[in-house]
A and B are shown apart, each in its own frame.
Chain A
Amino acid sequence: MDSTIVLILLQDGVMNGAIYALLGLALVLVFVVTRVIFIPQGEFVAFGALTLAFMVDGRSPGTVPMLLILGCLVFLVELFSAWRSRQWAGMGRTAAWTLGLPGILYLLAPYVVSKETSLWVSVLFSMALVVPMGPMLYRLVYQPVAEASVLVLLIISVALHFAMTGLALAFFGAEGWRTPPFVEGQVDMGPVTWSAQTFFVLGTCAALIIALWLFFGKTLYGRALRATAVNRRGARLVGISTNMSGSLTFTLAAAIGALSGMLIAPVTTIYYDTGFLIGLKGFVAAIFGGLISYPIAATGAMGVGVLESFSSFWASAYKEVIVFTLIIPVVLWRSFGSKHIDDEE
């Protein structure tokens, strides 16, 4: 094993680690704000990547009608709750994002979906299709039971994961897909050639992390989310809507997931069920941070990526064993080392 191999493995590990870091961040975010362990996070990776792959291939993805149906369901649910509380304010806005947006995308789809469409337009269109599913799923699935225990929310997450995997199989088929790279070309650095795509992934991840940091530190909505994370009841007392926080969090989580999927789709083959394993590794990273700390989760994600790449070199048959065994000492260390805070109380 010489230095070239070490460098290539590091490069590979850091790139995968960056994706795990993004997913780990999203998982931490969702957990602290809503107490949901968001297992379907990985499905957004697959939905994002496969929607883009279908658009690039000139086929209309199944996410187009799915968004329309989800939107209608959310609208009906909102209509029902408005009718019960006799509060019709805000229904206009609800109609706009649950009926208007999916409807417009549905009508636009036949014009946008073609092999000639520029990659960036396809990316934007795919994001517009996948990201609204985050808040819609929150409204339909989690919001009615938002005050339930962490265990109930976890069970719901597992159910949602299976439902979304099944839908992905129906929409995208069993075979894998790839998308063209966002940037072509190679960069020579010492003995190793880095593909430009790697830098693009790392750059996007860094930009996203900084953007999230600014969002949480500088904006009103970001601070509201942080307040909810620190103390849900306290946040409600000062007038922060937990529903709004949850909805916003799921929008962010869906956006991060879909974007991660589009970032890795050019370098690897994505299947309808790829997301789960990627999400699970992001979850290992999130566990490193005890589901509450962003910097430790990001560091942990890099560690998982590099460990994975080196173990695939030394003992490829035991790669997953090594990565997932790692979680045991970490959880042990965290449960002995840290003061246990039960936020159920």
Chain B
Amino acid sequence: MNRKQSIRLSVLTGALALALPLMASAQIKVGITVASTGPAASLGIPERNTVSLLPTEIGGQKVEYIVLDDGTDTTAAVRNMRKLITDDKVDVIVGTSVSPGSLAMVDVAGETQTPMISVAANARIVEPVEGPREWVFKTPQNDLLMADALADAMVKHGIKTLGFIGYNDAYGEGWLNVMTAAAEAKGIKVTAVERYARTDTSVTGQALKLVAAKPDGILVAGSGTPVALPQSELKNRGYKGIMYQTHGAANADVLRVCGKDCNDMYLPAGPLLVADQLPDDNPVKKTALDYKEKYEAKYGPDTINTFGGHMWDAGLLIQAAVPGALATGAKPGTPEFRKALRDALEQVKDLPVSQGVFSMSPTDHAGFDKRARVMVKVVDGKWVYQPDL
């Protein structure tokens, strides 16, 4: 190909690329920002992977997904959201992976009147439902729901005193607050509190102090593989009590890194983690297995984790709400459609998803009940469902 031809070709491609978005403007657009790089990449990568499994057609309308990476940066998340809304004219925003970014995006959702579905856990993203939060929904379980499950299990284990080691950031702080409240309501005292950072290479000091305080049980509040470090250090320092983890540890890589040190630890998790062990009458089992099958067919066996499930559930919410919004006669891409979609999301009732059953209401934009959590124990490097806890 000579130079002239190649220039002509690139001009043609450029023109096509410019024209395509115009041709496609009649379809529903879903804008997604996730943290597929940066400190929360272990959450954002499975979420991004899940997007490619979502349906490209809902209620006879084509759906386009636009995925951006915010690098776990709050400013970038807000910038991505504004770009998606003003440049791409999306009808609904999904994201971001972590709470600080999602909390900052709430105001943009209210200001631009765009429905937003967060895949981060903090309850303050949707509570209380007023002002800009009327536009915001979220799919992960509230930390409080998980902390309650932990407190119930601790009562059954006869725990009276609890030690705590958590991230030195908003995640650890949030968990310390909800866990202290949940534990004290059940008569359990939190006696020792230690902190560590995600990239720490040693937690010996913290482990020694926790062991010296002799609590009946210890909760590790972290997410992804960093939870393995305090877990194995406490075992090595001779801690004999019961170890608990949060649902942040519900990740196959944790078991790989932690090995036998993680055996016999308890954690609350979304039912997706043990979907194949659930009883058949559980409403979550079918949809959770469906997601697991699709994800693992594409990304390989045992690659599934619960973070991707939150994105899948956001997709299911949109699928449930779009027909209702279309029925109002509003056209995608208009403010009326966004309003109709918000109203329809609020009407979703008894929708089984991979992590529980959604029942949204004007006062509850998280919509999960106790069916959204199970207690799991690690036995011989496998997750085992604990129906009695």
Give the interface of A toward B (CB within 8 A).
5, 8-9, 12, 15-16, 19, 166, 169, 173-178, 264, 267-269, 271, 273-274, 276-278, 308-314, 316-317, 319-320
Given contacts A173-B45, A174-B42, contact A269 B206 (CB under 8 A): no
Once bound together, how far apart are the Cα atoms of A320 and B198, in whole Å?
12
Query: Is the CB–CB distance between B168 and A176 below 8 Å?
Result: no
Which one, A175, A177, A274, A320, contacts B201 given CB within 8 A?
A274
Which one, A174, A177, A316, A320, contacts B257 given CB within 8 A?
A177
Q: Which of B41, B201, B209 is the most central at the interface, judged by chain A CB atoms within 10 Å of its CB?
A: B201
Given contacts A269-B228, A269-B229, A317-B168, contact A176 B257 (CB under 8 A): yes
Residue in A closest to B197 when the chains form the complex, CB atoms: A320
- CB contacts (< 8 Å) of B200 on chain A: these are 268, 312, 319
Once bound together, how far apart are the Cα atoms of A177 and B256, in whole Å?
8
Query: Is the CB–CB distance between B199 and A312 below 8 Å?
Result: no
Query: Is the CB–CB distance between A268 and B201 below 8 Å?
Result: yes
Min CB gap B298→A, angstroms:
16
Given contacts A166-B37, A269-B229, contact A175 B253 (CB under 8 A): yes
- CB contacts (< 8 Å) of A178 on chain B: these are 228, 257
A-B contact pairs, 26 of them (CB 8 A): A8-B208, A9-B205, A15-B202, A16-B201, A169-B37, A175-B251, A175-B253, A175-B257, A176-B228, A269-B229, A269-B257, A271-B198, A273-B39, A273-B199, A276-B199, A278-B201, A308-B202, A310-B205, A313-B209, A314-B205, A316-B168, A316-B196, A317-B168, A319-B168, A319-B197, A319-B200
Tally of contact residues, B, Cβ under 8 A = 32
Which one, A169, A174, A309, contacts B202 given CB within 8 A?
A309
Query: Is the CB–CB distance between A274 and B199 below 8 Å?
Result: yes
B204 within 8 A of partner (CB): yes
Min CB gap A177→B, angstroms:
7
Once bound together, how far apart are the Cα atoms of A310 and B205, in whole Å?
7
B194 within 8 A of partner (CB): yes
Given contacts A268-B202, A310-B205, contact A5 B212 (CB under 8 A): yes
Residue in B closest to A166 when the chains form the complex, CB atoms: B37
- CB contacts (< 8 Å) of A269 on chain B: these are 225-226, 228-229, 257
Q: Fill in one digit per residue for B185-200: 1 if any A CB lies within 8 Å of its CB, else 0.
A: 0000000001111111
- CB contacts (< 8 Å) of B229 on chain A: these are 268-269
Query: Is the CB–CB distance between B205 and A309 below 8 Å?
Result: yes
B224 within 8 A of partner (CB): yes
Query: Is the CB–CB distance between B204 and A309 below 8 Å?
Result: yes
Query: Is the CB–CB distance between A12 and B202 below 8 Å?
Result: yes
Query: Is the CB–CB distance between A175 and B225 below 8 Å?
Result: yes
